[in-house]
Chain A
């Protein structure tokens, strides 16, 4: 199965591990992510101002290119990209006036009215591939590994973009179980890490990280499965700060869900790019026998 794929900027730079592990894991499932040519940055955030149409151009242009390539669906890995592309897509689909205005700014792509479906990889795994097929590909079940599924915000809010139940999602836990692991539920699974506030206010992000990680630890998690590169960065840098000195804060390994897939499929750990994960994560992987 070939799927049009929009990587976004971060997956080519600071989160190459996310993309690499995804490509490898999906290849093992017979799924080929075909990177769309000439993609541009989605803009990171979806503009929430009614009169700001200019910032919709970046995401919409990508979708128009997908349509131009004859594809009906585009898959993303980065949760931020997913949210921005998905919501911009709805504008083009549902608002004729805005569509006209945005279109007038783009003369290098064909007319676009929201025909393409924007999907996050977790949706594809659940709906198009199916857990049974994923379990069938597992060679090294994540036995005795307790993983807390951390969603963050952008996969679930607003309702119109949600890939699962806004308050009680299960898709990431279902994936963990399909890979043979034990999924740990914890109350901060859908709580915000602070997102872009890290630019100006690390203290609040560190406070959020402490609560999220602390809650996962109290509920028995050995590691946190993440799906957003900004969440991963925020939690990683917070843990590094919080773990300094005699704070007693231990933190948790942070692993992209695609890295968990690659490991469970018995693929070479080199496909996972673990050098970009935190040192704590790398230690944990060795301790668990997930990498040698």
Chain B
């Protein structure tokens, strides 16, 4: 059962540690095969762990996802490589050779016991990626409390001691930065390893699952919505709503910490906008904006939420019922787009329209939440090119057949799951993760492939 050049490796590579990747990895691992799960950030979990509550059930996402994250870390068939990136892939189905860059954490995870002393004492503050800029983290950090692995990495672009080292080594002019090293001094087990280097790990795998997920279109793409601290995107608002977030779930607006009493949510920011954004619908915003409006009402009972919409797309199981609940629980839905958001003193003036009543409307809002378009994950285009995987004009992976091969890509043996293929909610992403795992298990049970030149 060998391919033309004599080998078929029944080991899988999953690229991306969000929910689709996690599910794919668990299913392949449960199917009896070794899986390498590569995630470029320090922890798996993807965007789902950033949310406050998920629609329509209003479950706590950290609560329902962490068991799967723990399972990944403990599964005998899963080799978890976080803080690592796939650099190159060659070969073909059954016989890929993969080069993975394991970035230097500079913290020896074999010694580290996750006590937290280092990140509690680190003096350097950096914008927190997990908190979407709504809070800071330290240079040595674990991105969030439920991170897997729950052990820190050192962000070498922002570490004071590494700056010092580079300053000395490169003989830079000017004032010498502090030779900090507080983490090293305080670590009870001596886990800090300044000498650790990035290293390349080469692996043979038989199948690859692309589960690289999504990011939100930057707010700057819609310049008529003010560049303002109180104009935030959906993920930022989730952090403000989240009980584990920077404001402990008390909705405080970024500019002055006041609790907003009038919050405007704007749908279709960049989506359905061929002129200034993307022509497609981002699928999940109607639902998550409705959810956020409802959670805001729960957090601020005397507050008023307004949602500007063009249509309400609520097609999943329980979604329409949820949408109707939101509409009847005091959230005002206005049909029309907002032309402009501008700062006026301590309020934001929202100039919109309600086409149903035929009126121009103006709202003096305390905060504005934008439903920005869903895009493929930042920086993924280069990876797809290196893999030879076809993508559409927007960077989403092109499936082999729209109806009947939604998980296959232009490269045999490389499958796609989740938002990497298009905007997708959680149930569908998880289902696709299982689906892609199924494809991998089929390939492995077939056990052979003619060597096919990668397209």
Q: Do chains A and B touch in the complex (CB under 8 A)?
A: yes
Type the 1/0 row for A153-166, where 1 means its CB is closer than 8 Å to any CB of B: 00000000000011
Does residue A237 face the partner (Cβ distance < 8 Å to B)?
Answer: no
Q: Which B residues from 211 to 227 make CB contacts under 8 A with A?
A: 223-224, 226-227
Does residue B163 face the partner (Cβ distance < 8 Å to A)?
Answer: no
Beta-carbon contact of B342 and A187 below 8 Å: yes
Query: How close is A152's CB to chain B, nearest CB, in angstroms?
Result: 16
Beta-carbon contact of A167 and B344 below 8 Å: no
Does residue A286 face the partner (Cβ distance < 8 Å to B)?
Answer: no
Residue of A nearest to B349 (CB): A187
Does residue A215 face the partner (Cβ distance < 8 Å to B)?
Answer: yes
Task: List residues of chain A with CB within 8 A of the CB of B224.
Answer: 167
Query: How close is A51's CB to chain B, nearest CB, in angstroms?
Result: 25
Does residue A14 face the partner (Cβ distance < 8 Å to B)?
Answer: no
Size of the B side of the interface (Cβ < 8 Å), in residues, is 10
Beta-carbon contact of A218 and B345 below 8 Å: yes
Query: How close is B343's CB to chain A, nearest CB, in angstroms?
Result: 7
Does residue A168 face the partner (Cβ distance < 8 Å to B)?
Answer: yes
Q: Which of B223, B227, B340, B344 contacts A218 (CB 8 A)?
A: B344
Type the 1/0 row for B337-365, where 1 means its CB is closer than 8 Å to any CB of A: 00010111100010000000000000000
Residue of A nearest to B223 (CB): A167
Beta-carbon contact of A187 and B344 below 8 Å: yes
Q: Which A residues from 179 to 221 make CB contacts under 8 A with B?
A: 187, 215, 218
Size of the A side of the interface (Cβ < 8 Å), in residues, is 7
Residue of A nearest to B275 (CB): A159
Q: Which of A165, A166, A187 contacts B343 (CB 8 A)?
A: A187
Residue of B nearest to A187 (CB): B342
Q: How far is the CA of A218 from the CA of B349 in the complex (A)?
A: 14
Query: How close is B226's CB to chain A, nearest CB, in angstroms?
Result: 8
Q: How far is the CA of A215 from the CA of B347 in the complex (A)?
A: 13
Beta-carbon contact of A215 and B223 below 8 Å: no
Q: How far is the CA of A168 from the CA of B223 in the complex (A)?
A: 7
Q: How far is the CA of A215 from the CA of B349 in the complex (A)?
A: 11
Task: List residues of chain A with CB within 8 A of the CB of B223.
Answer: 165-168
Query: How close is B269's CB to chain A, nearest CB, in angstroms?
Result: 14
Task: List residues of chain B with CB within 8 A of the CB of A215.
Answer: 344
Task: List residues of chain B with CB within 8 A of the CB of A218.
Answer: 344-345
Q: Which B residues from 323 to 342 make CB contacts under 8 A with A?
A: 340, 342
Task: List residues of chain A with CB within 8 A of the CB of B349.
Answer: 187
Query: How close is B365's CB to chain A, nearest CB, in angstroms?
Result: 13
Q: How far is the CA of A222 from the CA of B242 in the complex (A)?
A: 44
Q: How far is the CA of A166 from the CA of B345 in the complex (A)?
A: 23
Type the 1/0 row for B217-261, where 1 means its CB is closer than 8 Å to any CB of A: 000000110110000000000000000000000000000000000
Q: How far is the CA of A215 from the CA of B340 in the complex (A)?
A: 15
Q: How far is the CA of A168 from the CA of B219 in the complex (A)?
A: 14
Task: List residues of chain A with CB within 8 A of the CB of B344.
Answer: 187, 215, 218
Task: List residues of chain B with CB within 8 A of the CB of A167.
Answer: 223-224
Residue of B224, B227, B344 with highest tally of chain A CB at under 10 A: B344
Q: How far is the CA of A187 from the CA of B339 in the complex (A)?
A: 13
Query: How close is B138's CB to chain A, nearest CB, in angstroms?
Result: 34
Query: How close is B339's CB to chain A, nearest CB, in angstroms?
Result: 11
Q: Which B residues from 175 to 200 make CB contacts under 8 A with A?
A: none
Q: How far is the CA of A165 from the CA of B345 in the complex (A)?
A: 24
Task: List residues of chain B with CB within 8 A of the CB of A187.
Answer: 226, 340, 342-344, 349
Q: How far is the CA of A158 from the CA of B345 in the complex (A)?
A: 30
Q: How far is the CA of A167 from the CA of B222 in the complex (A)?
A: 9
Q: How far is the CA of A215 from the CA of B226 in the complex (A)?
A: 15
Task: List residues of chain B with CB within 8 A of the CB of A166.
Answer: 223
Query: How close is A190's CB to chain B, nearest CB, in angstroms?
Result: 9
Residue of A nearest to B342 (CB): A187
Q: Can you give 15 A-B contacts (C-beta < 8 A)? A: A165-B223, A166-B223, A167-B223, A167-B224, A168-B223, A168-B227, A187-B226, A187-B340, A187-B342, A187-B343, A187-B344, A187-B349, A215-B344, A218-B344, A218-B345
Q: A187-B349, A218-B344 are in contact. List 4 more A-B contacts (CB 8 A).
A: A168-B223, A187-B226, A187-B342, A218-B345
CB-based closest 3 A-B pairs:
A187-B342, A167-B223, A167-B224
